[in-house]
Structure 1
Amino acid sequence: MQVVNMTMQSPPSLTRKILLSSEGFSPIPVIKILKTYYDWIPRNLSALPLTFNRSALVVGDTEILTFDGVLLRMPRSSCKVLLASVPDVVSVYMSHPQPSGAPEVTLQAGSTKAIIKPNMEVDVNGRQVHGRQTVGDVVIEVNPHYVTLVSPMLGVQLMKEERVVMVNASTWVFNHTRGLLGLYDNERANDRMMSNGRNASSLHDLVNSWQENPSCSTPQITPIDPTHVPVKESVLCDFLFFQMKPCMPVVSPKPFIQSCLIQSRPFEVAHSYQSFCRTQGVMFPLSIF
């Protein structure tokens, strides 16, 4: 009920008032309409249909594409940063226990806490899990190449070889997410909003505001200035990603291109994009890799 009431007006409020005010014009008794409504509402979160229709990405540990398509950056840091949450329902955090190592991702949904460790092992409520399992409202799938954690509101997938963290949002949480990945409200202008509701003046302030512990020291991070990218690297990245145009309507290349511009291994980044595209069902008639 709590989550459903976030996404639509419930009978005790606006809907009920409308129904009662129009009762004289309806051939169906209002009490029957309300009973049908309550019968339809799931008794618990796991009964909700899993309809994920928006994704946000963290590419190469630092390059972010928000739910609404804004390009941001975050530092590799041991500080736990809130990527996305539906307050009081589910949250997804990311940190780097070793700044040069792989990330650690945590999904907390109710009493279920699942942690994807940098070595791709998964602990759920302190117990290591393997294969496919369901704990509470969370479905866990573990294999050597990727780990998927799915709750009815948010899902997260960590892909080892592609170095991608993908957070998926359900249609039920439109305009109800909080965190570094944005509000998921189709408004790009507010995707630099800090946890206090104000727009951040810098990436450092934005990331710091979404840390689990605000006193944790946030490493400095600056926006990428395309004018400072060497021409050779810029042309090479443009060429590599031009070859993968079939995927661009499906997966935005923006965070991958940004990663390509700052990485010393552009072919590796481009291959990561191609590999990720294939996981999303995109086929390439020709491949440069």
Structure 2
Amino acid sequence: SLTQAASYVSLSPMFSVDTSLWSFEALLPTPVDNLIWAYYSFMPCHARYLLPPYNRTAMVVDGTEIITFDGAVLRAPPSSCKLLLAQYKSDSLIMQSQQAAAASSHFILKVSGITVEVKPDFTVTMNGQPISGPQQIQGEVKVYKMAEKIEVMTPTITLRVYKMSHTASVEVSGWTYGQLAGLLGTYDGEMGNDWMTPSGSRASSLQELVKSWREDQQCQIPSVSPFSPLHVPIVRMVQCNALFGVRTRCNPVVRQESFRKMCFTSRNACHVARAYSALCATKGVMDVFPLGC
């Protein structure tokens, strides 16, 4: 209701910042915008971002809201079914989301005969054996355990699971371009292809798309509704506009449009905002403004 929205606005310090800086993007000269993009593109935080083919990152928030490698925004219902997120040759990443809103997802990464599992309680196993130390390296697979995130690095897929935001980022090597399969898309520069099923046909609905990437085709997937602006509560709309309406120096590097759309349908708007911040950080860009969450 409007009363709820007004109440949220009065309690949110971010809304005041958002109101005062709402026109900042329009006032920022295009050359400055391009300069920021060029700086972080040609002076990246990692050498692997310096020359093509470039790595690409997809995001999963709360196990349900997805941004593919090519930027398409998808949804998957909370389910005990295991979903294939990404596969490159024999390497694969599988996700099992949780019904409880406060629970993180279960991720299974299989690379070069090694299986790493990141569980909802933030414990990690490698080939079934718990990892207790801050890091473990076996072959080409490296696992780093930090207070705020777990990072699993391989030559083709890097999985980062963030504890506070219930977010996972999936970064793939540029050498996988056009050779990926899974719910996170093909990474070929075409968002339309992210609706393709394993059979090569285009899914007619989100329900069909999610079902097609089940590991067990007998597992029952709950219904999932597509995004509709008409069904977004006013309070959530105000909150998302406050979180993503403020201009930051990361905008030229990571566009906000997909995250703003995801924010409208997510379980927790702050988780989406932190996901955006996490993606910016992987590119060496730290937030200028606080998230307000």
Establish whether TM, by shorter chain, passes 0.5. yes
Is the 1:162–1:273 contact (alpha carbons within 8 Å) kept by the matching residues of 2? Answer: no
Q: TM-score, normalised by structure 2?
A: 0.74
Shift of 1:176: 0.6
Contact 2:72/2:258 (CA < 8 Å) preserved in 1? no
Q: How does 1:127-138 map to 2 (within 5 A)?
A: 127-129=129-131, 130-138=133-141
Letter in 2 for 1:226: P
Contact 1:161–1:272 (CA<8 Å) still a contact in 2? no
**Matched position secondary structure for 1:245:** coil
What is the match of residue 198 of structure 1?
201
Among residues 159, 162, 166, which one is paired with 1:163 in the alignment? 166
Q: How does 1:1-289 map to 2 (within 5 A)?
A: 53-88=55-90, 90-100=91-101, 101-129=103-131, 130-263=133-266, 266-267=269-270, 269-271=272-274, 273-274=276-277, 277-278=280-281, 280-287=283-290, 289=292
1:8 matched residue in structure 2? none
Q: Secondary structure at the match of 2:242?
A: helix
Higher relative contact order (CA 8 A, sep 6+): 2
Q: Deviations over 1:102-124 (max 9, x none)?
A: 10001001210000011111000
| Higher gyration radius (CA) | 1
* CA distance, structure 2, for counterparts of residue 233 and residue 164 of structure 1: 19
The 1:276–1:189 alpha-carbon spacing in structure 2 relative to 1, beyond 3 Å, is closer
**Separation in structure 1 between the aligned mates of residue 193 and residue 84 of structure 2, nearest angstrom:** 17
Aligned to 2:26: none
Amino acid aligned to 2:127: N
Whichever residue aligns with residue 191 of structure 2, its letter is R
Deviations along 1:177-215, whole A, 9 cap, x unmatched? 000001111122211001111111111111111111011
CA distance in 1, matches of 2:267, 2:93: 30
Matched position secondary structure for 1:287: coil
State the distance in 2 between where 1:279 and 1:168 align: 10
TM-score, with structure 1 as normaliser = 0.75
RMSD value over aligned CA atoms? 2.4
Paired positions, count: 240
Q: Which is further off, 186-195 or 127-136?
A: 127-136
Look up the equivalent residue of 1:214 and give its one-letter code.
Q
Shift of the 266–96 alpha-carbon distance from structure 1 to 2, 3 Å rule, reads closer
Query: Are the counterparts in 1 of residues 248 and 287 from structure 2 also a CA contact under 8 Å?
Result: no
- Residue 95 of structure 1: how far off its partner (Å): 0.4
Q: Is the 8 A contact 1:59 1:255 kept in 2?
A: no
Q: In the TM superposition, what whole-angstrom CA distance separates every residue of 1:224-264 from its partner, at most 9, and x where no partner exists?
A: 10122234432332232111432223334345323432357
Amino acid of the structure 1 residue aligned with 2:96: S
**Percent identity (aligned):** 35
Distance (Å, rounded) in 2 between the aligned partners of 1:96 and 1:188: 24
Label 1:165 to 1:267 Cα distance change in 2 as closer, same or farther (>3 A). closer
Q: Deviations over 1:37-65 (max 9, x none)?
A: xxxxxxxxxxxx9x861111112321111
SS in 1 for 2:136: strand
CA contact (8 A) 1:80 1:212 kept: yes
Q: Which amino acid aligns with 2:194?
A: D
Change (3 A) 1:84 1:124: same
Kindly provide the amino acid, as one letter, of the partner of residue 123 in structure 2: E
- Extract unaligned runs of 5+ from structure 2: 1-50
Q: Tell me the amino acid that sits aligned with residue 62 of structure 2.
A: G
Give the residue type in structure 2 aligned to 1:125.
Answer: N
Look up the SS of the partner of 1:212 in the other structure.
Answer: coil
